[in-house]
Each structure stands twice: as structure tokens, then as C-alpha cells.
Amino acid sequence: SQKLPLVVSTWGNADFQAAGQRAFDYIQKYPKNRVAALVEGLSECESRQCDTTVGYGGSPDESGETTLDALVLDGPGQKMGAVGDLRKIKDAARVAWAVMNYTKHSFLAGDQATKFALQMGFQESSLITNVSTTMHTEWLNNNCQPNFWRNVAPNPLKTCGPYKPNQNAAKFSLNSKEPLNAFSQVSHDTIGMVVIDTNGDVAAGTSTNGARNKIPGRIGDSPIPGAGAYCDNAIGGAAATGDGDIMMRFLPSFLAVEKMRSGTTPRKAAEIAILRMKAVYPEYFGAVIAANKLGEHGAACNGMATFSYVVGDGNAEKVQVYTVKC
Ligand code: SD4
């Protein structure tokens, strides 16, 4: 197809454009190296700390630490590498790639993922910066509000913990309320990317520092295959961004790829995935991008006015920003 190679990635502001451009430049120079192009693109966002929601120095957890989630998928051979809750290593996407390339596992998490990364020669460094420290201090100074993530009774002392289960949890009630629309008040931009090379082979992946003020140990949707991203070499790929604690329950990227398998356009496939989540969580925040092997692409979103994404295709040297209404 004239439209290949193709790079499609989430969000449209300057740093995300640069990340898409990095992947697109790479695949134009090395037209079969879809996985390297993907990892270069994701890593570009990590080192730019896109929106402070990708890479080090953003979204501190309750303890003030930044932790990273990343996923790399390759269509041929259905290969995968992922890290979740990665600590003290900046290069989450590259570590995910190392899991894919140098192990028979698919997903490593937490301190043990760090240990693996060190064995593979990655550098250990703090992911805490002045910016993330300020975010964390502001949150502490505000009695740990907003705190969407703990479904607990308000602490009468207005301090941050110790947290106690609320009555519902103690009674194993099914009526406890979800912390809905949690992301709408915080910044929240994962990079998710699909790369299709000139052979029509597909790669997809994500990188993020997850949710701000999260409970330590929390892993989002981004490194989970079918949730944060998915690809099938016969069809295409998809990726998701937004409230991962909701989205991972629906495997929206898998669903979008399966819809494309049955002939749906990428735009419609993304819409169907969003609608599936919206039916249960009408106000949830998120977006899905999808691309097929014909070089077609599309996106859909919920919980915001519009959603922008970046596209580089065979027709141009520069990536372009597309915007869809939610
Ligand atoms: C997460 N999905 O960890 C990520 C965050 C995100 O746009 O994508 N924000 O839940």
C-alpha cells in the first residue's frame, strides 16, 4: 500500500508529535524495522517526559516514587515483552523490549523487573525529580486529596492514612462505589503506538508512568496485552490511553483488532471499543487508536471534548495530527 509504512500514536501535542516523528523517521530509514521504530518512538517520549505522564519525574505514587509501565508487541510470531511497576530505570520501553528479546517470559514487574534490567545492562537512577516531588508535596499538603484510588471512609483527622476499610468493604458488600471518572482532574497521557512496516508487518506498544497518587504496586492497563495495546499480524494494531483501571477490564485494544478482523474500519472499531466501556462507565476518560494493514487509521474517545493523535504515513515526510470529537 502507498500508505505504508505507517505510524499511529496517541495524543497530539508537540512532544507526542516528536515521538511519532522519531518512529516515523526510523521506519522510513529502515523500512522493515518496525519494532526498533516503535521502541525509538516510545523512548523519545520517555526522555522528553511527555506531559510528565510518560517516563521519569511524573505521576508520583502515594509514597512519592515514579514507577513505569511499558509494553512491546510484535505481530510476526505474536511476540511480547512488558514491564509493570518498573522502579529506578528510566528506559521502560527498552526494558520491555529486552524482556521480549532476551527471555521466554512476557511480563516482569516491580523490583524484580529492575533487577532484570540491571542484569541486562540498564542504568539505575532515581525517577524522582523536582517536578514529581512538588506534585507529591502538594498532594500531601492537601491531605492527600484528590485521592481517587482508595475506596475508604474519609479520615476524620484529615491526614493521609492510615487507611481503614470502609464499612462496605468490611462487610464484603457489593454496593461500594467505584471512584468514577478518576482521571478527569489529573493529567493523564500514555503514549500508545502502532507501527506497520512496508511488508505490512505490525508492531504496537505503550509507555507510561501511570496514574498520579496511585497506591504503590498499582499497574495500569498500558503493559497488559489487549488492554494498553494489541496487534495481530494478519489485521493491524490498536492502543489505548486513559483510565486504565477501568479500561483493563474490557481489553479495548483486543476488541478493536477483532472488530477490524471482521471488516470494520479502524475508526468504527475504536468506536465500538469505547462504546463497550461507556455502556458500563458512562463518564470514564479514555481513547483508542486503531490501524489496519491497508494503512487506514482511526480513533475514538470518551470523557473529553476531542482527542488528537499523530499519524505518519507513506504520503508525507512529516507526521500529521488528526483530531476526533468524542
Ligand atoms: C494508566 N492508561 O496507567 C494509563 C494512563 C493513561 O492517558 O493512559 N493516561 O492507567
Q: Are 169 and 176 in contact (CB under 8 A)?
A: yes
- pLDDT over 70 (residue 97): yes
What DSSP letter does each residue of 180-213 carry, written as one string? TTGGGGS----EEEEEE-TT--EEEEEEE---TT
Average pLDDT, stretch 84-101?
98
Question: In the chain, pLDDT over 90 holds for what percent of residues?
Answer: 83
Report the alpha-carbon distance of residue 253 to residue 190 in Å, rounded.
Answer: 14
On the CB side of 89, how many CA atoms lie within 13 Å of its CA?
A: 29
- The DSSP bridge pattern shows strands 191-196 and 286-292 to be unpaired
Render pLDDT for 212-231 as a digit per residue (tens, 0 to 9).
Answer: 999 999 999 999 999 999 99
Cα–Cα distance for residue pair 311/21, rounded to 1 Å: 9
**pTM surpassing 0.95?**
no
**Mean of pLDDT values over 69-77:** 98
Does the CB atom of residue 220 touch ligand 1 within 6 A?
Answer: yes
**What's phi and psi for 3, nearest 5 deg?**
-85, -5
For the CA of 183, the nearest atom of ligand 1: 9
* Type and span of the H or E element at 241: strand 236-242
Q: How far apart are CA 239 and CA 176, in angstroms?
A: 30
pLDDT in tens, 39-60: 999 999 999 999 999 999 999 9
How far apart CA 245 and CA 65 sit, in angstroms, is 19
The closest-lying atom of ligand 1 relative to the alpha carbon of residue 53 is 9
pLDDT in tens, 265-311: 999 999 999 999 999 999 999 999 999 999 999 999 999 999 999 99
Gap from CA of 242 to ligand 1 centroid (Å): 4
- The reply, when asked if residue 57 is annotated as ligand binding, is no
Residue 58: name the closest of 171, 188, 153 by CA: 188
Ligand 1 in contact with 61 (CB < 6 A)?
no
Determine whether 133 is an active site residue. no
